[in-house]
Homo-oligomer: A and B are copies of this chain.
């Protein structure tokens, strides 16, 4: 018989462990299954928008929330990857890469997102050798080098500013006319442009990544810049968005929007009874760490109320 829980949480980021902390307070027997402890936020070194904490970094914040949750006796966590999810009776059954099986009376998808790829020639070949998806993780290797950032979002701008700590020059390559970070980050980019550390190449797409045996040397653009379509770069950071990790959820009938984000209501309920979602994988309009944490808290409480309701129903 697989181990049985009141609540299974897939995902060990801010949303998953915030849910776990509340579920712990509600004395639910529960397990967090995490492929990566901490989730996406650990790729961020500068967090200045978590109410109550003026300045921290992603790893510290995630670690704090995780430790907070694990203080409750009924909360456990496992480092493993869920590879299969199915309905089982009134609950759910999960199988992991590590060959374990678990049953949950309720299930929370706090599965987050993955980096979106460029899908151009050379991207896979030089992945990890010039091509990267996280400046904080890999930027330190580009001290006094020239790098590119693909994307025009707030995340892309933050990555570019971060990279100026190491790189002597950062090109932001964006397919549209104007990058569109949060105003505070736009100001930071502008300051770096004035310092000649950042240059924006707008209306341009990367169509290929070229290089030698070991590492990339050029990004090929679809328009000329300074007289050439080939931009000499030591590294290229791809920041063009995310893909929701919602395949497992879809498999048990959970509805998503057209982009694959799980549709939830204000109580973090999905269309499937006993199944919840929180954080980056959900269809929330404005996705922040704090909003994901709040969705996790709602999910824990909804699961608790759902189970309470079950108990008073006649058999």
Residues of A within 8 A of B (CB): 14, 17-18, 21-22, 25-27, 48-54, 56, 61, 64-65, 67-68, 71, 182-184, 265-267, 284-286, 288, 290-291, 293-298, 301-302
In angstroms, Cα B263 to Cα A266, docked, is 12
Residues of chain B within 8 A of A298, CB atoms compared: 285-286, 291
> Does B290 contact A18, Cβ atoms closer than 8 Å?
yes
A54, closest chain B residue (CB) = B68
Given contact pairs A65-B51, A285-B267, A25 touches B182 in the complex (Cβ within 8 A): yes
Question: Distance (Å) between the CB of A267 and the closest chain B CB?
Answer: 5
Residues of chain B within 8 A of A286, CB atoms compared: 267, 297-298, 301-302
Residues of chain B within 8 A of A182, CB atoms compared: 25-26
> Does B54 contact A183, Cβ atoms closer than 8 Å?
no
In angstroms, Cα B284 to Cα A183, docked, is 30
Residues of chain B within 8 A of A54, CB atoms compared: 64, 67-68, 71
> Does A27 contact B183, Cβ atoms closer than 8 Å?
yes
Residues of chain B within 8 A of A27, CB atoms compared: 183-184
Residues of chain B within 8 A of A51, CB atoms compared: 14, 17-18, 21, 65, 68, 293, 296-297
> Does A297 contact B288, Cβ atoms closer than 8 Å?
yes
In angstroms, Cα B17 to Cα A279, docked, is 22
Residues of chain B within 8 A of A65, CB atoms compared: 51-52
In angstroms, Cα B235 to Cα A113, docked, is 54
> Does A284 contact B297, Cβ atoms closer than 8 Å?
no
A291, closest chain B residue (CB) = B294
A61, closest chain B residue (CB) = B52
Residues of chain B within 8 A of A53, CB atoms compared: 52-53, 64
A51, A56, A293, A294 interface centre (most CB from chain B within 10 Å): A51
Residues of chain B within 8 A of A284, CB atoms compared: 266
Residues of chain B within 8 A of A14, CB atoms compared: 51
A24, closest chain B residue (CB) = B184
New A-B pairs, 19, CB < 8 Å, besides A17-B51, A50-B52, A52-B64:
A14-B51, A18-B51, A25-B49, A51-B65, A52-B61, A52-B68, A53-B53, A53-B64, A54-B64, A54-B68, A54-B71, A266-B284, A266-B285, A267-B285, A286-B298, A288-B297, A290-B290, A290-B293, A294-B295
A288, A290, A293 interface centre (most CB from chain B within 10 Å): A290
Residues of chain B within 8 A of A61, CB atoms compared: 52
Residues of chain B within 8 A of A49, CB atoms compared: 21-22, 25
In angstroms, Cα B52 to Cα A297, docked, is 13
Question: Distance (Å) between the CB of A127 and the closest chain B CB?
Answer: 33
For the complex of A and B, 10 pairs with smallest distance between CB atoms: A294-B294, A27-B183, A18-B51, A286-B301, A51-B65, A51-B293, A291-B294, A54-B68, A52-B64, A25-B184
In angstroms, Cα B53 to Cα A71, docked, is 13
In angstroms, Cα B54 to Cα A65, docked, is 8
